[in-house]
Amino acid sequence: MLDGTFLLAVKQELEELVDGRIDKIHQPSRDEAVISFRTKNGGKKVLISSSGTSGRIHITNEKIENPAVPPMFCMLLRKKLTGGRLAAVRQEGLERILYLDIDTTNELGDREMLTLIVEIMGKYSNLILTAPDGKIIDALRRLDDITAERLILPGVTYAPPERRKRLNFLTTLEDDLYEAVSSLKGTSAAKAFIGAFEGISPVLAREWIYRAAGTNDIPCEELTEGIRDKLVYEIVGTRNRFFAGDRKYCILRENGVNKDLCFDDITQYDGIYEKEYFESAGALLDSFYSERDRVTRLKQRYQEIYRLTGSLYDKVLRRLDNRRTELAGTEKKELYRLYGDLISANLYKMQKGDKELVCENIYDEALPQVKIKLDERLTPSQNMQRMYKEYRKADIAANRLEELIKSDETEKLYLESVRDIAERIQTEAEIEALRAELAEQGYIRTQGRKERPKPLKPLEYTSPDGFRILVGRNNKQNDELTHKIAKKTDIWLHVKDFTGAHVIILADGAEVPEKTIRYAAKLAAEHSSAKASSQVPVDYVQARFVKKPAGARPGMVIFTNNRTLYV
């Protein structure tokens, strides 16, 4: 999508930042870097993405949330480039590579020219920092496969990808353009154009053919002399508009979904796709990729926290299984006590050296014969004490294991609620709030001093009867809704036997109609782990009957006087 000619337009916009100083550097995700410049015209931010699906560089106005801890590559860029001055922005022909030369000062106080290389090449996109001698300092993506065409590793001299021999339509003479068009071969003229000309995208190639032939692709053999003349005319027209600044930065959309982009007007899809025009290349790229990048960043952060909670949950399950197995092993404790009692009752006929005691079980009406294995090294009294000791040990272990199992089951329920919350996350702020909660509960460490995330507002809805309804986004907010915001006569709702959000109907002392309760119950079901079920039981009760046990984890409550409905 982002071709070499569009990148040239971006380069021209970036040249406005020359002599600007680098103020801040952030790395919002593993594929992105944001560099803030201080210029004579104010502050500007440059977004660089090496994503395989949205690789690009441009001035951005988007507000992008940054991770609490900067990655290592970000720390390196800060160390090397902060305070540096942008000296030049370079591009070889219409190649999809930009070179940002940055005049900076090294650790010894000497000035040196470092180069930040932005390669926009689909899945091979990269961001590389090189020293004045051309050697790589580091890269966002290291390529260490010795079978690859080139290595991208610290200490290796940077070598750009091999440049194919193609024509630059912005500088080629008209006669040479006509000769190139006449020599195209293949079943697709559009593909042949891309192979013959540097820096053009498929949509631009098809547009030239459409304007010249009335269709956006034909076999090369059908390019008649008249069509070839028109093609050269259209190519030159695009060139002239580009240099004159008469560019039509446009996005093509289908039902609100971004499909393609170009620096020139696209007419081949009129009546099929909607078009939106922008004043600059950066503004277009912001609009085209912002939502996609937001979702990608959110997905990355979500996967991190989901893997973390999944690992914690699996650990609790394993611990529960082991402790239940241990508890099952303590079931012999009553047998040890019985053996001790029987030995005590038969001490008179036992002596040291006996290997076993065979006697009647006087505690069973049927008086069955019992065979008890003895330690022949011990006296009868010592054997009795040994049995009572084994009983006491098993009894203490059983009581302790029951406590631990109860604690593990509570923790399991809590982690289930955390995983349910993670699945419903929609913003990075919600991720930060959940990470803060997990840190408070001791599951993760907070690195360095970090400001607490800004308090999130609960989700808010209005019922058909006009009642305000609040839905908690996480466990901490559930506690706040239920125990601080809700008044005694407000209605509290929660799915029965599943994890989910606390839902509060703000009654303001009025009687809440059944229609509103049912509406709120559907919200409770929707914001729960039971959302995929066809019939979901939802408990509801006045908030005054909901209590939080002392020491309970966030979001955990007990309640009475509740009623249940199915939605």
Q: CATH number for the domain including 232?
A: 1.10.8
Q: Is the dihedral of CA 13, 14, 15, 20 positive or negative?
A: positive
Of 290 and 470, the one with more pLDDT: 470
Helix 281-329 crosses helix 428-440 at what angle (to 10 degrees)?
30
Nearest to 115 by CA among 137, 95, 82, 94: 137
pLDDT at residue 148, as a whole number: 65
Same domain, 181 and 117: no
In a domain, 433, yes or no: no
Domain boundary, last residue among 249, 279, 309:
279
Residue 449 has pLDDT above 70, yes or no: no
Same structural domain, 130 and 190: no
Q: What is residue 299's predicted lDDT score, i.e. its pLDDT? A: 76
Judge if 467 and 560 occupy the same domain.
yes
Q: Which of 52-66, 73-87, 242-256 has the lowest mean pLDDT?
A: 52-66
Looking at the structure, do residues 234 and 356 belong to the same domain, yes or no?
no
- Pair (31, 134) in one structural domain: yes
Looking at residue 334, its pLDDT comes to: 87
Mean pLDDT for all residues in the chain: 91
- pLDDT of 140 strictly over 80: yes
When pLDDT is averaged across residues 348-368 and rounded to a whole number, the result is 92
Domain around 354: 327-407
Question: Per the domain annotation, does 158 fall within a domain?
Answer: no
Does the predicted TM-score (pTM) go above 0.75?
A: no
pLDDT above 70 covers a percentage of the chain that reads 97
Compute the average pLDDT of residues 316-340.
89
pLDDT on residue 52: 87
In the predicted structure, residue 467 carries a pLDDT above the cut 70: yes
Distance of CA 472 to the CA centre of its chain: 21
Distance, first Cα to last Cα, the chain: 47
Shared-domain flag, residues 172 and 268: yes
Q: Indicate whether 382 belongs to any domain.
A: yes
Q: 135 and 187 share a domain?
A: no
Range 57-74 average pLDDT: 87
Which residue is it, tokens 């908690």? 472
Looking at 347, 375, 407, the residue that finishes a domain is: 407
Q: Does 350 score more than 80 pLDDT?
A: yes
Report the pLDDT averaged over residues 344-354. Answer: 92
**pLDDT higher than 80, residue 187:** yes
Counting beta carbons within 10 angstroms of the beta carbon of residue 148, is it exposed (0 to 12), middle (13 to 18) or buried (19 or more)?
A: exposed
Is the same domain home to 205 and 264? yes
Residue 410 has pLDDT above 80, yes or no: yes
Least confident of 245-259, 324-338, 472-486: 324-338
Give me the amino acid identity at 143: L
Q: Any idea what DSSP says for residue 94?
A: T
Q: How confident is the model at residue 444 (pLDDT cuts 50, 70, 90)?
A: confident
- pLDDT tens digits along 24-33: 999 988 899 9
Task: Indicate whether 130 and 214 sit together in one domain.
Answer: no
Could you tell me what percent of the chain has a pLDDT over 90?
72
**Calpha distance 153→141 (Å, rounded):** 9
Does 452 fall in a domain?
A: no
The CATH number covering residue 46 comes to 2.30.310.10
Same domain, 129 and 181: no
Residues 473 and 371 in one domain: no
149 is a domain residue: no
pLDDT of residue 83: 95
On the question of pLDDT at 62 being above 90, the answer is no
Query: What pLDDT is attached to residue 433?
Result: 84
Average pLDDT over residues 153-170: 93
Co-location of 346 and 232 in the same domain: no
- Total count of domains within the chain: 4
**Whether residue 472 has pLDDT greater than 90:** yes
What is the predicted pLDDT for the residue at 377?
Answer: 93
Largest Cα separation within the chain, whole Å, is 124
Query: Residue 461: pLDDT band by 50, 70, 90 thresholds?
Result: very high
